[in-house]
Structure 1
Amino acid sequence: MDCDYFDAHRCRSCALMGVPYAVQLADKQQHCAAVLSDSAPEATWLPAFVSPESGFRNKAKLVVGGDPGAVTLGILDPAGRGVDLRDCGLYEPGLHELIPRLAGLVDDLQLEPYDVPARRGELKHLIVTHSPTGAVMLRFVLRSQKQLALLRSRLAVIRERLPEAVVVSVNLQPDHKAVLEGDTELVLTEADVLPMQVNEITLSLRPNSFFQTNTHVAAGLYRQAQQWISTARPTKVLDLYCGVGGFALHSAVLGDSGPAQVIGIEVSPEAVTSADHTAGELRATHPGLAEISFRVGDVTDVAGLRSLGPGALVVVNPPRRGIGPELAHWLERSGAEHVVYSSCNVDSLSRDLARLPSYAASQARLFDMFPQTEHHEVMVLLDRTSTEEHCVTRDLDQ
């Protein structure tokens, strides 16, 4: 992949730009295998799951700079001034085509970009999520409600200029700090859910819901988890850090080769609402759907739950810091026969595997979620090799 912005030193975010893609993949695989050599010495490494080199991002997180009528969409330079990257080649084709039109719309609406050095202005970011169907979720991140009435009054214009935008919302982020979005979300459209088709499942994304930035690779990640779960044939699947329910929902549609019960736990109420919405739609189309439920809660709350038993499988997909000692200790005592661990940080994954001596990694796979960078996603299948005394305080089903 070539990039004029990179060559001109306007953006250097893609640190591996210019490195042949086959070399990128080989280096990532070698690095991950080396880091896990002690904690997963017997794991069989499956072939890396490959991404398109360009045009793979389903989400654009655009810093708005410049002046009213002449905005920049992209990033900030070291001085805090806007750098326009509207022709970035990382975005999916439909999203790539939309961004220049979005810049023109912001100019025509005379929205006031936030000036970071001067600490004045209103529009901080535009967050755009693109679905495989071509539908879009558009979020305006504002400093205050000063231009909220303008956006409400121009909603028809926004929809006319950007007919792909099925969900339009305003996020309020009043603080002067490097935080992408705030806690308050105001949906302007009747629709508040973006359908995101992944494999045979259409996930439901609400404005604050997290979803992997590479739809193609996310689909491969879920298919691999399905294969491992189908082979393990667990009676129950517990999906921790479940987000919008990707792993849980892909487990629930397996039918006779899948679990009878699936439970997802996630700290974000928005994500749980999204997962519940998808589960409700699947019940109408999949008569063999497993019993599935989602709960709002911190995953460390499972530390007081009773043993899952030998027929259970646990999926964990934590943030970069990993699952940590408390949750690892609970897994050791849980009785779960298998664990599927999806990680975006091989170093924290290695630390966590060392905390799980009752399990051994039998298979591992690299998923290249972020081409042109050193970031990676690694998923491992853990099989229980010994038993620990199980916690018996209360039942997961309560």
Structure 2
Amino acid sequence: GVARESGASGGGGPAAGGAGVLVHPTLGMDEPWRYRNKAQVPFGEEEGGLVAGFFAKGSHRIVDMESCLIQHENNDEVVAAVKGIARDLGITAYDEATHRGVLRHVVVKYGFATGEIMIVLITNGTEIPRKNEWIQRIREAFPDVLSICQNINSKRTNVIFGDEIKVLWGQSVIHDTIGDVKFAISPRSFYQVNPQQTEVLYRKALEYAQLSGEETVIDAYCGIGTISLFLAQHAKKVYGVEIVPEAIEDARINAELNGITNVEFAVGAAEHILPEWKNQGIRPEVIVVDPPRKGCDEALLETILVMKPERVVYVSCNPATLARDLRVLEDGGYRTMEVQPVDMFPHTVHVECVVGICRDDT
């Protein structure tokens, strides 16, 4: 269900999930295994041998792993092959303590709808020993690999990606589809890891948006345009805003890829861009928010209350901040109609919720 906690606005009392809010049963997966389309696996050395897997709990020691039951089989196979080839070629793993060694992580991305595979080798420094042999052997092992990239991360950090990306072989992107919208996925772009449940989630968001084709919609945390492009097929105009410039570049590419022309994307914080749009005379009937775990920025919620859209659709990955934010919207004249939890990450504690919210006077 939705977390009950008193609102951050000082209203007190139970927040959403209290009286009168319809919380539907969670939409799960029929087959809750092998659903992840992205693997990111750290490398290390154990007793002289190269290992790749997960960190032991509360440590930096890597437990070697051959398979993970929530990863797509292809990802497991690619990680195992990259590890085997690296061992054969004598490639060293990065050592956090000494800041030496080559291979830090491998990231594998798989397009469920297209079968396309991208492999990103994350290295300490620019040099990859026996690079051409490595590429050749990966290609022989996996004919569906369309992109082999290198990401260079020479910092003393546990952040996975560095700033510089090189295409070692093939394309700079692979593609996947959610519903009938096609997406280009680059090495660093954020893309939902469970495409099957993402479609369930977005269809519910679309239903709560109640679009007739005449509406102006704002997507306040649009990322690479996933929800924006879904909504644009049913709206008059969609405006998307996102603080990450690379994501907006991807969003524009994705709009073009699908021939969707009634979307406009802007880089910046939603709470800064929305007032600018309001001053330009943009009046949205619907605002969609899909914030990170910390929830919506307080200034954004205030802006929503000033813009007075007829409906708000809130996609949340954290029930606690969702309850806090719904309290603010309810105190500002909105009513929470219904909540649909979706199990996006089976076998974890996380749940996403789509919430339909309307203005009290509509």
TM-score, scaled relative to structure 1:
0.80
- For structure 1, which segment, 303-312 or 95-104, has the greater mean C-alpha deviation from structure 2 after superposition? 303-312
Q: Structure 1 stretches (4+) deviating beyond 6 angstroms? A: none
The residue identity in structure 2 corresponding to 1:342 is V
- Please name the residue that 1:325 is paired with: 298
Match of 2:206 among 223, 226, 236: 226
Q: Does 1:39 align with 2:16?
A: yes
Cα RMSD of the aligned pairs, angstroms, is 2.5
Unpaired runs of 5+ residues, structure 2, are 7-13
- Counting only pairs closer than 5 Å after superposition, residues 344-363 of structure 1 correspond to structure 2 as 344-356=317-329, 357-363=332-338
Secondary structure at the counterpart of residue 238 of structure 1: strand
Match of 2:243 among 249, 252, 267: 267
CA offset at residue 85 of structure 1?
1.7
Residue deviations 1:6-28 (CA, integer Å, cap 9, x gap) = xxxxxxxxxxxxxxxxxxxxxxx
Residue deviations 1:291-348 (CA, integer Å, cap 9, x gap) = 1122222222225325377652111111111112111111110121111111111111
- For structure 1, which segment, 312-321 or 76-85, has the greater mean C-alpha deviation from structure 2 after superposition? 76-85
Alignment partners' CA distance in 1, 2:27 and 2:167: 36
Q: Does 1:365 align with 2:305?
A: no
The residue identity in structure 1 corresponding to 2:50 is V
Q: 1:69 to 1:237 in 2, by over 3 A?
A: farther
Unpaired runs of 5+ residues, structure 1, are 1-28, 284-288, 388-398
- Please name the residue that 1:123 is paired with: 103
Alignment partners' CA distance in 2, 1:116 and 1:144: 14
Alignment partners' CA distance in 1, 2:153 and 2:187: 14
- Please name the residue that 2:41 is paired with: 62
The residue identity in structure 2 corresponding to 1:156 is Q
Alignment partners' CA distance in 1, 2:283 and 2:74: 46
- Counting only pairs closer than 5 Å after superposition, residues 52-91 of structure 1 correspond to structure 2 as 52-66=31-45, 70-77=49-56, 78-91=58-71
Secondary structure at the counterpart of residue 169 of structure 2: coil
- Counting only pairs closer than 5 Å after superposition, residues 1-398 of structure 1 correspond to structure 2 as 29=1, 32=2, 34=4, 38-41=15-18, 42-51=20-29, 52-66=31-45, 70-77=49-56, 78-132=58-112, 133-147=114-128, 150-151=130-131, 154-231=134-211, 235-253=215-233, 258-283=234-259, 289=260, 291-307=262-278, 312-356=285-329, 357-385=332-360
Residue deviations 1:237-296 (CA, integer Å, cap 9, x gap) = 11121111111111112xxxx21111211222322222222211221xxxxx56112222
Q: 1:35 to 1:200 in 2, by over 3 A?
A: farther
| Identical aligned residues as a percent | 28
CA offset at residue 96 of structure 1?
3.1
The residue identity in structure 2 corresponding to 1:55 is R
The residue identity in structure 1 corresponding to 2:146 is V
Would the aligned equivalents of 2:3 and 2:319 in 1 still touch at CA under 8 Å?
Answer: no
Alignment partners' CA distance in 2, 1:205 and 1:334: 33
Alignment partners' CA distance in 1, 2:94 and 2:132: 19
Alignment partners' CA distance in 1, 2:16 and 2:282: 24
